[in-house]
């Protein structure tokens, strides 16, 4: 049986690993890039010749001429955010109109979703998850309650009008009773979204059919994840997670492509760890070293601008992530951020109540009880920025990467040595594997 001409690119930590750059780098080889989960709460930053592109809903592949982008059924689509983003890309000279497709089965975010999430996140006594308050969670809640609006329904004016009237009657009453929120106007909402629907209509198609046809015609497809594995609704640090399947398995359910069509899984990990928002973080740094990493790594959210929490590389967490995703290849980003450190700590194991633990506990109390066991490695104290060959890296930087590889259970294929598209080091075995999968 020949290897499927596809790859899944997934975040191996809590998101913000630099997947956008990696998808952009790899998309030169692929015919289609398909986003399979999340909404416009996920920001992917791509820097090309010093010019910055921040993508939230649109797959990174559209920045490559000839590559098509797909927003799959597993994504929740905010029509206004979509139109704003495509308009901005059009102004920057990116051809989105002929190469971007939206699933007719994707769920739609409406203003009452944002109203509910913002009110709930701000309410006294409620556990704060640290959401972006963009309506992502409530939209997924409606999807699972079988009460959501899909893109195909958005295009039906009569159905849209009825849905908004009924939903506003319910959501306004709930929000007012629980949070004292002022009601939304369903008539105004309908007018705005009926107009937006007509502007979105040209992009809408059966993307599951499109993707399966592409694979059947021997074209290559890359599946682009959002957030990271530890934010997955099932496998992440629940309840401090997102509302979708952020791990590699979401590529199948979120696009309509079967599991036998997945050729390989590529996990993206930083050379250290970051997290945005609330939730447990075993290797979080609480001294000046965190400020150093944050400053050198420009660790601020691409969508929200929030400062990211910083910590040392967590190998038990990375092993867990690789297990959940079936990761074959690792991409290591932001190696250059560690260039000036005299010593680098790496978590190689956990202790809970004095007992060694090899796995990530399921409950938050268990994760919060973790005492990381660290190994200290010497820093290389030399620049890795822009290095394009593994043998040209400082010897101690090579040792650091090989240690990551041997302890994580997946092979390193790419090392990012700077934010720009060209600041990328690709190892020969990975290049050969991509040639077999993508054919380019």
Q: For residues 78 and 405, what is the distance between their CA atoms, to the nearest angstrom? A: 39
For residue 186, the number of C-alpha atoms closer than 13 Å in the C-beta half-sphere is 14
Annotated active-site residue 176? The verdict is no
**DSSP string covering 220-263, please?**
-EEEEP-S-GGG-TTTSSTTSS-SS--STTHHHHTTT--GGG--
**Angle between helical axes of 186-200 and 79-91 (0-180°, round to 10):** 40
- Residue tagged active-site, from 44, 113, 163, 235: 44
Burial class (CB in 10 A: 0-12, 13-18, 19+), 207: buried
Which residues make beta-bridge pairs with 345? 376
Annotated active-site residue 286? The verdict is no
DSSP symbol at 63:
G
For residue 198, the number of C-alpha atoms closer than 13 Å in the C-beta half-sphere is 6
Q: Show Cβ contacts of residue 238 under 8 Å, excluding neighbours closer than 6 positions.
A: 362, 364
- Residue tagged active-site, from 16, 78, 336, 420: 16
Q: For residues 21 and 30, what is the distance between their CA atoms, to the nearest angstrom? A: 15
C-alpha distances in angstroms, 433 versus 259, 266, 332, 427?
A: 19, 11, 17, 10
In terms of residues, how long is the chain?
A: 440
Active site residues: 16, 44
């Amino acid at each position: 049986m020949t290897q499927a001409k596809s790859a899944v690119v997934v975040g191996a930590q809590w998101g913000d690993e630099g997947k956008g750059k990696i998808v952009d780098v790899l998309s030169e080889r692929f015919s289609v890039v398909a986003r399979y989960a999340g909404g416009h709460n996920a920001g992917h930053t791509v820097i090309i010749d010093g010019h910055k592109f921040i993508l939230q809903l649109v797959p990174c592949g559209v920045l490559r001429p000839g590559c098509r982008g797909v927003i799959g059924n597993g994504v929740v689509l905010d029509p206004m955010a979509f139109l704003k983003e495509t308009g901005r890309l059009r102004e920057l000279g990116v051809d989105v109109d002929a190469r971007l497709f939206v699933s007719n089965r994707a769920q739609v975010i409406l203003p009452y979703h944002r109203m509910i999430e913002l009110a709930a996140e701000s309410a006294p006594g409620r556990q704060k998850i640290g959401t972006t308050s963009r309506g992502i969670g409530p939209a997924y809640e409606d999807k699972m309650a079988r009460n959501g609006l899909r893109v195909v329904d958005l295009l039906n004016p009569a159905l849209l009008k009825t849905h908004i009237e009924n939903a506003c009657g319910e959501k306004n009453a709930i929000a007012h009773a629980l949070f004292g929120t002022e009601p939304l106007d369903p008539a105004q909402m309908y007018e705005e979204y009926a107009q937006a629907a007509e502007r979105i209509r040209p992009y809408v198609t059966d993307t599951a059919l499109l993707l399966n046809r592409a694979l059947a015609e021997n074209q290559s497809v890359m599946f682009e994840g959002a957030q990271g594995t530890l934010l997955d609704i099932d496998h992440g640090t629940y309840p401090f997670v997102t509302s979708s399947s952020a791990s590699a398995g979401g590529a199948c359910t979120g696009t309509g492509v079967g599991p036998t069509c997945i050729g390989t899984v590529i996990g993206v990990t930083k050379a250290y760890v970051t997290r945005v928002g609330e939730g447990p973080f075993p290797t979080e740094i609480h001294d000046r070293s965190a400020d150093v990493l944050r400053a050198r790594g420009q660790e601020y959210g691409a969508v929200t601008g929030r400062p990211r929490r910083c910590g040392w590389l967590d190998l038990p967490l990375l092993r867990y992530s690789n297990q959940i995703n079936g990761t074959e290849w690792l991409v290591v980003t932001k190696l250059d951020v560690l260039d000036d450190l005299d010593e680098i700590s790496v978590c190689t194991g956990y202790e809970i109540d004095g007992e060694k633990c090899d796995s990530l506990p399921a409950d938050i109390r268990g994760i919060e009880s973790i005492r990381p066991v660290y190994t200290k490695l010497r820093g290389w104290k030399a620049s890795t920025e822009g290095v394009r060959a593994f043998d040209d890296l400082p010897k101690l930087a090579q040792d650091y990467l090989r240690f990551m590889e041997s302890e994580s259970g997946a092979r390193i294929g790419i090392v990012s040595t700077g934010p720009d598209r060209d600041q990328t080091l690709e190892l020969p075995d990975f290049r050969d594997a991509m040639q077999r999968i993508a054919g380019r």
